[in-house]
Structure 1
């Protein structure tokens, strides 16, 4: 991006929350630095590890070199929603002229035309929100069951208006969308469970905001071997079910609403079995077949207070690994 740009002509801001992925973050920022010209943009990197700050070191190097312009801030309170909220708030405050606020994860690589396709999709469609495909790049050769699993589905196959986005890993929002909500934008109840993005986009839909799918605005996500294991995939299904349940409870807090949710939970179990049969007929693989059952089970477990915390567990796993490295006898 040209060094002559000023804050007043920044049209878009790309938000990148990060936690202990310095190698991946470097690839993410490099892909942003090599975007095709046509959109004046800045980046906001949010370091969610106030102790190591490895991501901040990487981001500062890009900013100081002039490869990218923007800011890097540290969010000391950990959690997915806290980091994303800090990114959005910083983007809105630091670049008041920017009409488009985008987000990409720190394990994703933007295609060279990504920014042009996202902003172009918003301008041509007039949509308030734009999403695009997240194509998976498996770090080790995946088996057939993993490639067919819904968790790794990149999304739709052609550009069009859609009801709502399901995730924030590849998204654009116009500034006026945020102006319709009070901060924090992502509900902190989803901070460690995940699903704050799904909840936010559902609230956007209820407010009447339109969403467009730009099928050529591609980002590629690196999938580590750990996430290809059956245990992780099954747990992800349970988490999706818990997220869906929590969103329903938030939208229908009354006694009648809770009664209807109870009935819905009860019905999801036999319906999930039917979906599982359909999935098996299509895939002939056990792992994707179990996904509808895992989602339904996750809903029902959440109703009894058993909800996973994948983001919290991931961070705790890293901390435990550090302690074992420092004290091998533990």
Structure 2
């Protein structure tokens, strides 16, 4: 049986309690588990909640104060503390399903993948816009390019914690803007690691009111694009020409689908994504999205 560290980075989020309660209900499948919580606040604000829920978990809990306001610092603190055969990341605004970890590990063992992604299923409230819920704009799934997954995300992943992957760390320069997870997994695949997918390893994420807006989706897609553009190699003029063509195509499709509330928005968000890639290729500075300290 494997030794697995389940890592949760947190920043002033009471929903962490629900995340930990869901971890307590996991089917461990005989594996040896430990939960690592990295608190990214200036002060150890999550410690009382973690101590309160420690007894609800059947496995050891390691609390780390990893200040401040930079998600890469917290993620790297988890990597530094991990000593299992695998480590898993899940966000502090999500709940895992009982079979989540079993599905990730089974896929990793069957495929020998360096990392395995699972789906993040958005849960919309009753007052969310109808087009948003029907189009499911917030769920997270891996992107396949020519049948392979080139990069990943940390909201639902299992990583094989062995050489050479143990040497990878999250870029602190991206710890406030986001995109640190994309860059991390590009490093992993650059070392020859394959990324697998376990569709049964489901994590659920409620969509709060402040994220249930088109403006939030636009900001998120723009940032995704900027990260990918920043990491693109090869000829800059060629990349800009290709991305420019994609922007034009998506804008045309937005116009052609103007009467469809879902397709129109989906095409516009694709255009925004490619606009972000264009800016990333040009080296435009990303905005701050994480760790706003009062």
- Where on the TM-score scale, by shorter chain, does this alignment land: which range? 0.7 to 0.9
Cα 1:181/1:91, change in 2 over 3 Å: closer
Note the residue ranges of structure 1 that are not aligned, 5 or more in a row. Answer: 1-8, 93-97, 320-330
Task: Say whether residues 1:211 and 2:195 are aligned partners.
Answer: yes
Q: How does 1:169-188 map to 2 (within 5 A)?
A: 169-176=155-162, 179-180=164-165, 182=167, 185-188=169-172
Cα 1:136/1:46, change in 2 over 3 Å: same
Greater share of residues in helix: 1
In the alignment, which of 239, 244, 253 is matched to residue 223 of structure 2?
Answer: 239
In the alignment, which of 257, 261, 270 is matched to residue 292 of structure 1?
Answer: 270
Name the structure 1 match of 2:32.
40
**Secondary structure of the structure 2 residue equivalent to 1:112:** coil
Name the structure 1 match of 2:287.
308
Name the structure 1 match of 2:214.
230
Is the 1:21–1:107 contact (alpha carbons within 8 Å) kept by the matching residues of 2?
Answer: yes
Is the 2:251–2:267 contact (alpha carbons within 8 Å) kept by the matching residues of 1?
Answer: yes
Q: How does 1:183-198 map to 2 (within 5 A)?
A: 185-198=169-182
Cα 1:267/1:128, change in 2 over 3 Å: closer
Is the 1:146–1:288 contact (alpha carbons within 8 Å) kept by the matching residues of 2?
Answer: no
Is the 1:301–1:307 contact (alpha carbons within 8 Å) kept by the matching residues of 2?
Answer: no
Instruction: State the shift of 1:32 in Å.
Output: 0.5
**CA RMSD across the alignment:** 2.6
Q: How does 1:247-326 map to 2 (within 5 A)?
A: 247-248=231-232, 252=233, 257=234, 260-278=235-253, 281=257, 284-285=260-261, 286-302=264-280, 303=282, 305-312=284-291, 315-316=292-293, 319=294
**Secondary structure of the structure 1 residue equivalent to 2:141:** coil
Once structures 1 and 2 are overlaid, which stretch shifts more, 216-225 or 67-76?
67-76
Describe the superposition over 1:181-240 as per-residue Cα deviations: whole angstroms up to 9, x where unpaired: 535x11122111111111111121122112210000000012111111121111112111
**Secondary structure of the structure 1 residue equivalent to 2:153:** coil
Describe the superposition over 1:227-283 as per-residue Cα deviations: whole angstroms up to 9, x where unpaired: 1112111111211121112212xxx4xxxx4xx224322432332231344466499
Name the structure 1 match of 2:42.
50
Instruction: State the shift of 1:304 in Å.
Output: 5.6
**Secondary structure of the structure 2 residue equivalent to 1:76:** coil
Is the 2:28–2:101 contact (alpha carbons within 8 Å) kept by the matching residues of 1?
Answer: no
Cα 1:267/1:162, change in 2 over 3 Å: closer
Is the 1:110–1:218 contact (alpha carbons within 8 Å) kept by the matching residues of 2?
Answer: yes
Distance (whole Å) between structure 1 residues aligned to residue 259 and residue 220 of structure 2: 19
Name the structure 1 match of 2:67.
76
Name the structure 2 match of 1:120.
106
Distance (whole Å) between structure 2 residues aligned to residue 11 and residue 207 of structure 1: 23
TM-score (norm 2): 0.87
